Amino acid sequence: MPHASAAGGHVISLDDRATRGNKACLVSVKTPELTENQAQDMLTELKELATTLGLEIITDRLVKIRRPHQRYLVGAGNAEAIRMDCVESGADVIIFDNELSPSQQRNWERFTELRVMDRREVILDIFAARASTREAVLQVELAKAEYMLPRLKRAWTHLSRQKGGVGLRGGDGEKQIEVDERLVRQRISKLQTELKSVRKRRGEQRKKRREIPIPNAAIVGYTNAGKSSLLNRLTAAGVKSEDKLFATLDPTTRRVLLDNKQVVLFTDTVGFVRKLPHDLIEAFKATLEEAVMATMLIHVVDITTEHIDDHMLTTRDVLKEIGADDKFTVTAFNKIDLVDRPYLIPRIRKQHPGCVFISSKTGAGIDGLLDVVKGYLEQDLCELALRIPSTHYNVVAMVHRTGKILSQEYVDDSILMTVRVPKATVDELLPFVAEK
């Protein structure tokens, strides 16, 4: 196997064999706490993840076990059956839906002489391919480096064999592992420093936005539910929108002027997925903080999926983990243009009172969604009568940006205004409240 290097500041490849082929054998291990349907659903989602990564699925297998086995996660008999599947089908890579320990991953690669990945590594690779902003690139690279550190021996088993076995000390292989481990640790430290700086800048930008308290509606939901398509429909934002998992990772915020003259910021956020690795949630907390800081949430759900309940639960779990589960949330069931079952919408409406039904593609139901947004935001507005000196252009501009103007007239050197503004701006406007 070619020499893997961390030179030049780049994290070394997990396995240079990744370039040898893209035929994948998928394995999902069912433990007693999972139902048959849940396990099968996870295998289906793994297929979508692997396809998003550009792999060709040539075989898949659902393996039932009573308890995890230390060596291969599954028992020896199942391990041999999986190996034979790969031999007969000509697979280049085995992908487990379950998380493998570094030792299990090494055991599988020695046993099959194939590249072996787990769900976490697949998601990391997808994130790496989709990240575009500096912050997202750093977040993904840091997560990959931390994932790779305990797995460095995968790249050096050939040198260990040449030196007479893994247990020997002082061989070329061991020395190179130590070098690469030191380089990766240095890279992790540098990435953490860079990311801290980028996050500080983002925090300053977010602070400036809060100084001009325009209400913000964060669009959240399961990956591929249509969040970016909704933002594009609302704002013509031009956000990348594809029928793929994790089509966009970077938050995009755009202004919308509602028909009641209220300005609202809409923010697209990274999509969620079942069994999203915890370190990726940690890595993207800066991005997900857009949801934490939002005035309200729009939870977009793909109405065409058979896994609505699981997808909604996953989203709620992630929101709870990042501390955004107490926000007012409107649930928007998307893709109603694809619904071919007449009973589906009435049934869901009964199960989820207060929800809305939309199509980001056709625009159906968007006005109803905006009516819910307006209704909630108007509850947060206070009506004030203001007398603002005409020299205070910044205050007048702030009121126009953040509030709803009910009346306005010029008297002498002042502007008399009756306005409805967010409660967060009231203290700033108190010096200009007109005397009755």
Evaluate whether 272 touches 299 at the Cβ level (below 8 Å).
no
In a domain, 142, yes or no: yes
The verdict on 398 and 372 lying in the same domain is: no
Mean pLDDT split into 10-residue runs, the chain, 436 residues: 36 40 91 87 89 92 93 95 94 93 93 93 85 79 87 54 39 67 89 86 67 80 89 73 54 82 84 74 66 88 91 90 88 95 93 95 95 87 89 86 84 89 81 82
The verdict on 25 and 96 lying in the same domain is: yes
- Strand ordering across the sheet containing 414-422: 381-389, 414-422, 404-411
In a domain, 290, yes or no: yes
**Of 128, 151, 186, which closes a domain?**
186
In a domain, 200, yes or no: no
Query: Given the DSSP bridges, would you call strands 414-422 and 404-411 parallel, antiparallel or unpaired?
Result: antiparallel
**Cα–Cα dist 30/98, whole Å:** 9
The verdict on 32 and 98 lying in the same domain is: yes
Range of the domain at 135: 7-186
The verdict on 395 and 353 lying in the same domain is: no
In a domain, 1, yes or no: no
Give the containing element (helix H, strand E) for 227: helix 227-235
The verdict on 339 and 411 lying in the same domain is: no
Residue 267 sits in a domain of what CATH number? 3.40.50.300
Predicted confidence at residue 104, as pLDDT, reads: 95
In a domain, 197, yes or no: no
Q: Which amino acid is at 408?
A: Q
Evaluate whether 272 touches 224 at the Cβ level (below 8 Å).
no
The verdict on 43 and 123 lying in the same domain is: yes
For residues 368-401, one letter each, b for 16 or more C-beta atoms within 10 angstroms of the residue's C-beta and e for the rest, the string is ebbebbeebbeeebeebebebeeeeeebbebbee
**Of 341, 359, 377, which closes a domain?**
377
The verdict on 359 and 219 lying in the same domain is: yes
The verdict on 358 and 393 lying in the same domain is: no
Find, among 187, 195, 54, the residue nearest to 126 by Cα: 54
Residue 117 sits in a domain of what CATH number? 3.40.50.11060
Predicted confidence at residue 19, as pLDDT, reads: 41
The verdict on 150 and 246 lying in the same domain is: no
Total domains, the chain = 3
In a domain, 191, yes or no: no
In a domain, 170, yes or no: yes
The verdict on 305 and 427 lying in the same domain is: no
The verdict on 61 and 91 lying in the same domain is: yes
Predicted confidence at residue 66, as pLDDT, reads: 92
Predicted confidence at residue 398, as pLDDT, reads: 83
The verdict on 135 and 119 lying in the same domain is: yes
In a domain, 196, yes or no: no
Query: Taking phi first (over 0 means left), then psi (-120 to 50 degrees means alpha), and beta for anything else, what does residue 226 get?
Result: left
Residue 425 sits in a domain of what CATH number? 3.30.70.240
**Of 169, 186, 203, which closes a domain?**
186
